[in-house]
Amino acid sequence: MRNNEHKFRSANVLDKQQIALGAKYLQQGRLVAFPTETVYGLGANTWDAQAVNRIFLAKGRPADNPLIVHIADYAALPTVVSQVPPQAERLMRIFWPGPLSIVMPKSERVPDIVTAGLDTVAVRWPNHPVAQELILQAGLPIAAPSANRSGRPSPTLAEHVAQDLGDKVDLILDAGLAAIGLESTVIDLSNPEPVLLRPGAVTLE
């Protein structure tokens, strides 16, 4: 891990310079590990299929396992999804920003590699100032799974990311311990009957 120290950048809501570097890297097609309230994510430019492919290669992630797209305002939603179901609107008002990922019909702009060829996409608005600022400064939605090799525990510290991914990630934004430490809940609302795809930090009852 020692030889990865140069990649660490301490980042909080006031560290605009470091977050700006992460945003620049994303725009260049590089991979940036960043903090969220759940776990650390491994992010790439959603619109850049080659950059997204680097996520799968870095993690050893199966290509049939879709990614979650992270946004930081409602204005970005129409670029990612083609339709927002009424039940999704209700959950967004309650849980966004927060640890809930909602699967909806995807827009044509979202590359197939992000969704594993599905016509739906999972979207989340993270409740973390660094994640939000990174997305806004990059000016694009970030496709990101957890920043670990597939099958390994999800990282709650930047050090975990460095230990697990090493030189496979271009930059790690370090904001300390992830507050929740549990991945987001994923619910599919692309059909009339909701389907819980992954239990997580939000309990839907």
Per DSSP bridges, beta strands 32-34 and 41-45 are: antiparallel
**Domain-by-domain residue ranges, the chain?**
2-198
At 135-151, the pLDDT tens digits run 999 999 999 999 999 99
At 21-59, the pLDDT tens digits run 999 999 999 999 999 999 999 999 999 999 999 999 999
Contact at 8 Å (CB) between 165 and 58? yes
Q: Taking 60 as the threshold, does the pLDDT of residue 203 lie above it?
A: yes
Question: At the topology level of CATH, where does 2-198 sit?
Answer: DHBP synthase (3.90.870)
Nearest residue to 116 via CA among 165, 34, 51, 49: 49
